Amino acid sequence: MTDITASFYQDNLPLHAKGHLADLGCGHVPFYDLYKSLVSETTCADWPNSVHQNQYLDVACDLNQPLPFSSNTFDTIIISEVLEHISNPELVWAEMARTLNPGGKIILSVPFFYRIHEAPFDYYRYTEFALTNLATKNNLAVLKLESFGGIPEIFTDILAKNLTRIPLLGKPLSSFLQRVCWFFIHTGYGKRISSKTGKIYPLGYFMIVEKNK
C-alpha cells in the first residue's frame, strides 16, 4: 500500500502542489522530499500523541478540534492516510475548507479494505460516495477521485502482514510476496484484474479537490 500511495503523490504533486502547503497529520512526513521544492512554504501539523517521530513538525494540534490557522492561509493541503483516524470528520473537512485559499487544493488518500491500525484511534473507512459528499458540502469541487488496488493487492496485503508473524522466515516471505504482487499488477493481465475488482473491492482511494473561487 505504501508504494501504491507514494506513486500517486509522486505523479500528482508536481501538477497540483503550490504556494503555502500544509501537511495535516503529517506523521513522519513521507512526502516531504517530493513537495518541498514545489512550494514556497510548508507547515507540518500532527497531534502531540502521534506514534510517529517527526523532525519536521511545526505545529502540534488535534485535528478533531478547530485548526489553529487563519482562514485562507494555505494553497495546498495534504492529508494522507489520516481521515480514518479523525473522530469528527465533518469538522476537519470544514476546517480544511476554511483555511484553504480560493482555488487551493486538497490532496488526500484513505484506505478502505485495510487492517485496523493505530488502535484505538481508527474510526472510519470511506467510500467514494462519502468522500464526494464531504467535499461538495464544503464548497470543494472534485477534480480527481479514483480507487486504487483490488483483489490482488488486498489479498497480498492481508497475507503479507500475517506472514511477518512467522519467526525468521516471515519477513523475507512477506517481502517476496509483495514483490510478486507488484510485478503481477504491472502486467497487462494484472492491471485488468486490479482495475476491474478495485471498483468494488478497493484497497483505498486517491482524491484531489479544489476550493471554489
Residue spans of alpha helices (H) in the chain: 2-16, 32-35, 89-99, 128-136, 151-163, 170-184, 188-198
Cell match 507547515: residue? 43
Model's pTM, two decimal places? 0.92
Give domain limits for the chain: 2-149+201-211
pLDDT at 47: 85
Cell match 470511506: residue? 126
Confidence of residue 89 (pLDDT cuts 50, 70, 90): very high
Encoded amino acid at 146, one letter: E
Confidence of residue 61 (pLDDT cuts 50, 70, 90): very high
Give the integer Cα–Cα distance in Å for 199 and 115.
Answer: 19
pLDDT at 53: 62
pLDDT at 75: 98
Average pLDDT over residues 126-143: 98
The fold of 2-149+201-211 is Rossmann fold (3.40.50)
Could you read off the pLDDT of 38-55 as tens digits, one per residue? 999 999 999 876 555 667
pLDDT at 72: 98
Give the integer Cα–Cα distance in Å for 170 and 25.
Answer: 31
DSSP string, 56-117: T--EE--TTS--SS-SS-EEEEEEES-GGG-S-HHHHHHHHHHHEEEEEEEEEEEESS----
Average pLDDT over residues 145-164: 96
Handedness of CA 95, 117, 80, 151 (dihedral sign): negative
Q: Average model confidence (pLDDT) for the chain? A: 95
Among 14, 18, 99, 86, residue whose Cα is nearest residue 46: 86
Angstrom distances, CA of residue 157 to CA of 8, 168, 194, 201 = 18, 19, 13, 13
pLDDT at 52: 57
Average pLDDT over residues 69-96: 97
Work out the percent of the chain whose per-residue pLDDT is above 90: 92
User: Which DSSP letter does residue 178 get?
Assistant: H
